[in-house]
Amino acid sequence: MSSKAKTRDGVEIVYDIHGDKNAPKRIALVHSLAMERGFWDGVVAQLAGKAAILTIDCRGHGQSGKPKGPYTVEQFADDLADVMTHVGWDKATVAGCSMGGCVALAFAIRHPQRTKSLGLIDTTAWYGADAPKAWGERADAAVNKGLSSLADFQLTRWFSDAYRTSGNAVVKKALEVFLANEIPAYADTCRMLGAADLRDKLGGIDMPTRIIVGEEDYATTVDMAKAMNAGIKGSTMMVLAKARHLTPLEVPEKIAPELEKLL
């Protein structure tokens, strides 16, 4: 059953805890842009009984509050910290995919004492010099043309060609979740990612860190993953063959064992 927690600035965040919340092994999972906590269902099923699992709807997403922006990844990280405090967790493994990976990274930087280990999936510390322009254009397209105008673009980025055309229910559900987003919040989150730059903080991260990226990911590329790997001392990196951008959806059976190692 889903529950709600209030953040330090009064935003309601909806969350689920799978398993016994007092279990010794605990992991918090943060979804990608325009998704919601059900994004992790495949991974949660794989990890059932192995840990307590916290999934949230980030602000601006799913059933959580959608205040007017601007948003920052640091704000999203503090939201997760507030939910963890609400449920009585002082510390957990924290992992995220894409946008959620940026949030997990910001969490580890801002709340290192609360981060047991870190999972960075299909993500980056910085989207590049042209990111503010590119993400701003995506936000404007949503506002001016609607989310359906971005649907084909999103699907080809998210999933490998074979998986995308397989008729899999996961693909259909991801598109439904995407199209259900409230456009102002989606646009504010796009601009947040365009502005995100955590590169100069990577050297301070000292908890065990696992970086995972799809071989065919052209949203957050293998080179972006390598840059994080080089910046985070002691981190390890894995490239998933033939996978694209949302690997927790397409290959949860490959993501879950990697997260289990972090527990």
pLDDT band, residue 49 (cuts 50/70/90): very high
pLDDT greater than 90 at residue 3: yes
φ and ψ of 220, to 5 deg: -125, 100
Domain containing 242 — which CATH number?
A: 3.40.50.1820
What is the model's pTM? 0.98
Q: Can you point out the beta strands (E) in the chain? A: 3-6, 12-18, 26-30, 52-56, 92-97, 115-121, 209-214, 236-240
pLDDT greater than 90 at residue 51: yes
pLDDT in tens, 157-192: 999 999 999 999 999 999 999 999 999 999 999 999
Q: How many CB atoms lie within 10 A of CB 144?
A: 9
Q: What is the pLDDT of residue 187?
A: 98
Quote the Cα angle for 229-230-234, to 5°. 65
pLDDT greater than 90 at residue 1: no
Cα(72)–Cα(49) distance, rounded to whole angstroms?
Answer: 34
pLDDT band, residue 137 (cuts 50/70/90): very high
Q: How many CA atoms lie within 13 A of 107 on its CB side?
A: 32
Q: How confident is the model over 118-147, as a mean pLDDT?
A: 98
Domain hosting residue 195, numbered range: 3-262
% of the chain surpassing 90 pLDDT: 99
Domain count of the fold of the chain: 1
Q: How confident is the model over 130-140, as a mean pLDDT?
A: 98
